[in-house]
A and B are shown apart, each in its own frame.
Chain A
């Protein structure tokens, strides 16, 4: 129990004798989780505003302009308040416990996966040796929530849409994992912090994409699989299924719907963080290397701030790329999605793994 700063801070307040250890531990965990939830919710809020502005400017128009004054920065807050005040409709004949539980499961899985995300070298919510593995595993439990949502909606087309979405997500888990194997081989670690520090050479430019020629194709595959996992950009047939038939989300309105929405942006952010850490250096840039040499070690506050900012900027660039793709490409049909997943991405990612392994054996 050495590395638990919140617990240490709580203990330093000198709690009375009768407070048991597990209560302190739970409070510390609660505060940590609360901080994470607040942080991620703020990120999701900002992402939604950014999406609307990016969409607007790509389409030669402004996005939100009124709410809050300057370019409508408070638009998401206004939307959130409106959704909170909406009537909570649960369709009759639906499976009420499942209906209520589905958005909770979906959101909880994503937040659980985000626990592994580090903020900087010294500040993280949970450091795990198998960090990326945890992220992948927890990230896929959102599918359970989606299937529950589709089933509990008591509508034939909702379950149909949920099944399609589940099939899509499961199909793209394979290339997602396989393509992540390539930088894992190049960097040699599953942990997110160690992966970042392994890219610290060459004045902070020893990124994974430069270490092994198979990492860049693996990045392309990872990007495509990440888009499909988060049901974004050209793979948004489950969401936009409402052209003709109802998607799995139709019966949800108000705050329950906004949970699904927040989960989408949190998942985008998560994939973007994993992508930036494992492919593009994570905390490492020439600026970080310079700051580190200026201020001594990684524990200095300025270095930590720069690390945090770097990761944030890189992830937001990834999120921005996802948004850019969404507004450029049309939707792919579900059978073409499955063809792409199984026939194109999986063999290509296997080839990348093979090539990367051979490269590592021969060169290093």
Chain B
């Protein structure tokens, strides 16, 4: 008797679960799809997104803290120091290696390297993936002005000191003479 019951149960259960499943799929058939038609439409990207880096070059002091923090050593930077000012040569990030882990952002003492919301880095040659994050090379205009002013100030101070020494020497010789 249980065989007959099982038989009937099989038939009834198949029909019941099929209809239940079709109700669910039918419901979604009638709804609007959730696809976002990239690249015509795009989803908003949150601020914290770990995308391609951007560097605030004026703040950077070439301390190499981010390069040391990177697990894969993909940051390389090169700058020439003129007194207190930096003349930038390069600041490259090798995106062939970068795993977008954000470990370089936190150790920065001046808070100048960040990860942006850009994620598409399409190139035709691998060498282009060695991205230089600098926005300008050489020295910043303000840095040049400051250096010039510092030089002028230094020259003026030296001139003043020299003048004072000459004056003292002259006074000493005058004192000797009279």
Residues on A facing B (Cβ under 8 Å): 54, 56-62, 65, 220, 324-325, 327-329, 344, 348
Contact = CB atoms under 8 A, between A and B. Distances in A.
B18 A58 contact: no
Nearest to B21: A328
Contact of B18 (A60, A61, A325): A325
B37 A65 contact: yes
Given A344-B10, A344-B11, A328 B33 contact: no
B21 A56 contact: no
Contacts of A329: 18, 21
A61 B34 contact: yes
B29 interface: yes
B18 A56 contact: no
Nearest to B22: A328
5 residue pairs, one from A and one from B, having the closest CB atoms: A328-B21, A61-B35, A328-B25, A58-B25, A58-B29
A324 B24 CA distance: 11
A123 to B, nearest CB: 33
Contact of B33 (A60, A325, A344, A348): A60
Interface of B: 7, 10-11, 15, 18, 21-22, 24-26, 28-29, 31, 33-35, 37
A220 B12 CA distance: 12
Given A62-B35, A65-B37, A344-B11, A54 B22 contact: no
Nearest to A220: B15
13 contacts: A54-B29, A60-B28, A60-B34, A60-B35, A61-B33, A61-B34, A62-B33, A62-B35, A324-B22, A329-B18, A329-B21, A344-B7, A344-B10
Contact of A59 (B7, B22, B28): B28
Contact of B22 (A65, A325, A348): A325
Given A54-B29, A220-B15, A324-B22, 10 more contacts: A57-B28, A58-B28, A61-B34, A65-B37, A325-B22, A328-B22, A328-B24, A329-B18, A344-B11, A348-B11
A62 B15 CA distance: 29
A220 to B, nearest CB: 8
A348 B7 CA distance: 11
A62 B36 CA distance: 10
Given A328-B18, A328-B25, A329-B21, A60 B10 contact: no
A58 B24 CA distance: 9
A324 B25 contact: yes
A59 B27 CA distance: 11
B62 to A, nearest CB: 49
A56 B25 CA distance: 11
B11 A324 contact: no
Nearest to B15: A220
B23 to A, nearest CB: 9
A56 B33 contact: yes
B18 A57 contact: no
